[in-house]
Amino acid sequence: MKKRSIQRVPNLSDGTIVDNIMRMKSKKMKAYAAFVYLFGNRVSEGIGLPKTEETGEYYEYTKTTKKGTKTVKIPKKILVPNEWEVEPLKAWAVEYDREKGILWVKGIRTFKRGGRPNRDVWVLESGFNEKPLIDIVWKHTLAVRKKYGDDAPLFNITRQGAYMAFRKELGVNAFPHKLRDLRATKDAVTYGLDAKDLQEKFDWANPEMAMYYGRKNKTDIIAKMRRNIG
């Protein structure tokens, strides 16, 4: 089976992905999908990443390549109880500033840049196609706070559960990182953010990440030119 990549997943329009999220049957997964799409977070930044330890043993399988076959060894790992490499996002981290029309997620730890300070991400209520998803995330946040408290994990789900729900319920070969890609592209195309804007917003190490994720095609560029002329 070929390795999945963002390039092999169909490029969805903003309207299509919002419609697909709104149709998801699981309320929890719908809220998680809305969260990932609105804020462009990594999976681990939303649901956490448990610590693991290697057992000293390996899984082995045979891989066939153009040069022949070879044996691949993957270290076996076990979970370390009650310890986290990245803590799950807590319910208190989400705030809705209705006066300014902004939904905030505050103090997210950037997993791949552990030495960096935590960052804040946001989405504008008045933005294109944002309000329905904002309402889903905020309603979910309030429900978690009421039932479990402010310090409870916002999304008590596993990485495997998230991937399975996305493939099953979004109706395309989608996965959480694809929604991150779509978010950056929307910020670049719809809101006109340049590479430096995207780098600052997503706290990427270099602008090349923004150039990769914030891709535009000719239609997007023509539409931007027309907006600027108008």
CATH number of the domain that 159 lies in? 1.10.443.10
Q: Which pLDDT score, from 0 to 100, does residue 107 have?
A: 84
Do 56 and 169 sit in the same domain of this protein?
no
Cα-Cα-Cα-Cα torsion 197, 203, 209, 210, nearest 10 degrees, comes to -20
Tokens, residue 154: 């916002």
Q: Which pLDDT score, from 0 to 100, does residue 6 have?
A: 45
* Secondary structure letter of residue 113 according to DSSP: -
Distance of CA 194 to the CA centre of its chain: 20
The predicted model scores a pTM of 0.79
Q: Which pLDDT score, from 0 to 100, does residue 217 have?
A: 64
Do 76 and 144 sit in the same domain of this protein?
no
3-state DSSP assignment of residue 191: coil
Do 79 and 107 sit in the same domain of this protein?
no
Do 78 and 182 sit in the same domain of this protein?
no
Do 113 and 188 sit in the same domain of this protein?
yes
The helix (H) or strand (E) run that includes residue 27 is: helix 27-39
Any domain includes 110:
yes
Query: Count of domains in the chain?
Result: 2
Q: Find the domain containing 114 and state its range.
A: 6-47+87-229
Do 25 and 74 sit in the same domain of this protein?
no
Q: Which pLDDT score, from 0 to 100, does residue 220 have?
A: 66
Any domain includes 1:
no
3-state DSSP assignment of residue 103: strand
Any domain includes 55:
yes
Alpha-carbon distance 13 to 65, whole Å?
36
Do 28 and 125 sit in the same domain of this protein?
yes
Do 197 and 173 sit in the same domain of this protein?
yes
| 187-192: long-range contacts, CB 8 A cutoff, minimum separation 24 | 187/40, 187/214, 188/214, 188/215, 188/216, 188/220, 189/214, 189/216, 189/220, 189/223, 189/224, 190/14, 190/127, 190/128, 191/127, 192/224, 192/227
Do 73 and 12 sit in the same domain of this protein?
no
Do 55 and 104 sit in the same domain of this protein?
no
Strands of 102-108's sheet in order across: 94-97, 102-108, 119-124
Alpha-carbon distance 92 to 44, whole Å?
17
Q: Which of 85, 106, 137 is the last residue of a domain?
A: 85
Do 154 and 221 sit in the same domain of this protein?
yes
Q: Which pLDDT score, from 0 to 100, does residue 228 have?
A: 66
Any domain includes 77:
yes
Do 99 and 197 sit in the same domain of this protein?
yes
Q: Which pLDDT score, from 0 to 100, does residue 226 have?
A: 73
The helix (H) or strand (E) run that includes residue 179 is: helix 176-189
Q: Which of 34, 64, 85 is the last residue of a domain?
A: 85
Residues of the chain with pLDDT below 70 are: 1-13, 110-117, 171-174, 213-221, 223-224, 227-228, 230
Tokens, residue 201: 């917003």
